[in-house]
Chain A
């Protein structure tokens, strides 16, 4: 058997292990082993590749060394609350790698044969275009998602030094790179398109808000331009400059698609970018005729698409609406002062007294729990209640937090057994038997307006029906609106007590109050 066949068989084994990995991720008991199988598969694929030919090892060893070091440090240092940023960032690296591999393959093929060469088949050309396009959208889109989650893009307030370095450094590199490479191309329509694209990316990354006029027009324009340049590249692949113009224009698309997205839409976009990073890898597989890239890439593409669909469904919105629509109060939105006339504020002691007599308590966490890092304090309160024989469960909305499953990870970090993390439908079915529902830093996902007011921007969105519990305790810093920008009548309901405080501080105060009683 020749070497090529052995390599391909190892690739097949790796592909099977990747499938098993994802399959075993379906249960907490098998998931750890599954993840190890995935890592093993990756190792096998790398070893098989490196064993299949003769190489100049310098860049291989150096690249793996540097990448492993950065990856390992990032993975072991990151706080669980920052997981969305990290996943966003890793997505971007995956997309960026696909762009570079496709570009590198293009240059290697066509520069070698000389300008005007016609070598290379249709498959390679089309795949290179797709890989450059999807990869660039993923790379720039993920950077924006990362920057928004790490709160240094699209914000008005003062930044920390590290945030400034990343923010201004990135814009500077993009702008300088755009001008340098654009000038090297000479004065032509293409070089102008390239320079304008790169300067636009640099400028958009400096904006202090996440919307600007003509945004949707720019989305359509950059998408159309990217497709047009892609077609030109397929027709004339020896003109490798076209590849970079494609990357620049697709980068504009990536930035503008992600820029306006925030809050509850973030999980959708993180899932979508995850899918793109897989699709880019699959496209790269077509560029270099490699089956394991195609299989692994499409598995990830499918996984991201399913998550995207689940997230959209949890908000009762279409993907197009998330990407192109706007979320915010409408003319029919009632005035907040009017809605909040009957708000009752409560202290930790009052809340503790309510909890004392409860038999069943449901905790509904939202992004506020992540921001205040309250998960451990929540767990302590729950422990205390459980010791008194009170049943405690956690009701988790699919889009609570900033990425799919965000709340679950935080609560798992605080040692909450996963059996206690209940899905929305399951909790809603018995919500009328819940004595106290504690809403911790969540807003839109518990807004009953979604059920009652068809003209509301969140109309029809499935919510956790905490208003049906006997008593609702809402822990929130203020009455400020959530992502949808609308008032929440739950806060003023007869059975609601507002406990105005930071999530973690509130939980600790509550614990003290409970212990004193």
Chain B
């Protein structure tokens, strides 16, 4: 199996898993669901880190590309850290009696 086909398989299966589990989230928790899943979409940070950390000795080194990746690390980290924190803050309010 080619790597592309494998990645597409993963994509399709993950979408199905997403549909299955998220349909069960009650409307009361839709806002935390959004901000929580938003934090997860900050996973792009992985790609940003790889590109921002390229060594100068690497044949793919390019200063412009590196600066773009640096900004991407900032953006994605805002998304991740802010997203998980604010979701936690909201969920604590739902938890207390």
**Shortest Cβ gap from B17 to chain A (Å):** 6
Within 149-182 of A, Cβ neighbours of B (below 8 Å) are at none
| Cβ 8 A contact of A42, one of B42, B86, B97 | B42
21 pairs across A/B with beta carbons < 8 Å?
A31-B32, A59-B52, A71-B80, A72-B85, A75-B81, A75-B85, A97-B44, A97-B48, A101-B69, A104-B51, A104-B72, A108-B51, A274-B37, A285-B47, A288-B47, A289-B3, A293-B46, A299-B40, A396-B27, A405-B33, A421-B28
Q: Are A108 and B54 in contact (CB under 8 A)?
A: yes
Q: Are A303 and B81 in contact (CB under 8 A)?
A: no
Looking at the complex, which of A408-416, A448-456, A487-495, A504-512 is the stretch in contact with chain B? Answer: A408-416
Q: Are A306 and B82 in contact (CB under 8 A)?
A: no
Q: Would you call A94 an interface residue if the criterion is a C-beta within 8 Å of the partner chain's C-beta atoms?
A: yes
Looking at the complex, which of A48-56, A348-356, A376-384, A428-436 is the stretch in contact with chain B? Answer: A48-56
Render A303-339 as a binary contact track against B, CB cut-off 8 A, 1 for contact. Answer: 1111100100000000000000000000000000000
Q: Would you call A298 an interface residue if the criterion is a C-beta within 8 Å of the partner chain's C-beta atoms?
A: yes
Total A-B residue contacts, Cβ distance less than 8 Å: 375
Separation of A386 and B7 alpha carbons in the complex (Å): 56
**Known contacts A292-B46, A293-B44; A104 and B65 CB within 8 A of each other:** yes
B51 (CB) vs chain A CBs: closest residue: A104
Q: Are B47 and A101 in contact (CB under 8 A)?
A: yes
- Residues in chain B within 8 A of chain A (CB atoms): 3-4, 7, 10-11, 14-19, 21-56, 59-62, 64-97
Neighbouring B residues of A415 by C-beta, 8 Å = 93, 96
A19 (CB) vs chain B CBs: closest residue: B17
Q: Are B94 and A412 in contact (CB under 8 A)?
A: yes
| Cβ 8 A contact of A59, one of B47, B53, B87 | B53
**Shortest Cβ gap from B71 to chain A (Å):** 6
Separation of A70 and B54 alpha carbons in the complex (Å): 24
Neighbouring A residues of B25 by C-beta, 8 Å = 22, 25-26
Q: Would you call A32 an interface residue if the criterion is a C-beta within 8 Å of the partner chain's C-beta atoms?
A: yes
Q: Are A101 and B44 in contact (CB under 8 A)?
A: yes
| Cβ 8 A contact of B32, one of A93, A271, A304, A409 | A409
Separation of A287 and B50 alpha carbons in the complex (Å): 12
